[in-house]
Chains A and B, each alone.
Chain A
Amino acid sequence: DTAVSQTPKYLVTQMGNDKSIKCEQNLGHDTMYWYKQDSKKFLKIMFSYNNKELIINETVPNRFSPKSPDKAHLNLHINSLELGDSAVYFCASSEVGVSGNTIYFGEGSWLTVV
């Protein structure tokens, strides 16, 4: 069973469209994250939720809106997509305070905006 699963894995869309990426974790963790990885592999945190509450919101355009219906799910909705949004988006989860906060990542969603 996949611990952190996200869909879709690949997404090609036109500028201006709105798209969503879904994420689910079956590890029973209370904290979930969205990370963005650019073409140079640099990893940047976007959002962090703890028990459905937003606790980290880095400098991200408000076109990006996370939603956590329950602590096992954290979806990412992106409005008015721009070319610069092309990247790999990783969902992740962790159990705060356990094992130094080891993070478990999904396999990534490759977003290409054309």
Chain B
Amino acid sequence: GDSVTQMEGPVTLSEEAFLTINCTYTATGYPSLFWYVQYPGEGLQLLLKATKADDKGSNKGFEATYRKETTSFHLEKGSVQVSDSAVYFCALSSGNTGGFKTIFGAGTRLFVKA
């Protein structure tokens, strides 16, 4: 079945460091790929998404490119801030109008130090 694997955390960085959180997936068909972010005490919210191969999703300085050849969707940010401290979830969604299923990775906690 479909699955999502993302790097284990926690990831601890200093402010202004470069961030990469790896995410790979297995899926039949052509899923959409997502990164969601969960700030402390809150629900998950969409950070960015890509719906087809070679698409790049971007938001708030974060980027991820849908790589079909490597089945990956790695999250990157050039310069992290303390406010980026959160848990990041990679996810895929596949299906059709008859029904979609979304599968989440295990989450990666990011700590950014001032």
Contact = CB atoms under 8 A, between A and B. Distances in A.
B99 A50 contact: yes
Given A41-B38, A90-B44, A101 B100 contact: yes
Contact of B43 (A31, A40, A96, A105): A105
A43 B44 CA distance: 10
Contacts of A42: 106-107
B44 A99 contact: no
A103 interface: yes
Interface string B93-112: 10111011110101101000
B32 interface: yes
B43 A108 contact: yes
Interface stretch (B11-19, B20-28, B45-53, B72-80): B45-53
A28 to B, nearest CB: 16
A6 B96 CA distance: 28
Contact of B102 (A99, A103, A106): A103
Contacts of A41: 38, 87, 106-107, 109
Interface of B (DSSP majority class): strand
A16 to B, nearest CB: 28
Nearest to B96: A97
Contacts of B51: 99-100
B97 A96 contact: yes
Given A96-B99, A103-B46, A105-B36, 10 more contacts: A40-B106, A41-B87, A43-B107, A45-B102, A50-B99, A56-B101, A99-B32, A100-B34, A100-B51, A104-B46
Interface of B: 32, 34, 36, 38, 41-46, 49, 51, 87, 89, 93, 95-97, 99-102, 104, 106-107, 109
Interface of A: 4, 31, 40-43, 45, 50, 55-56, 90, 92, 94, 96-97, 99-108
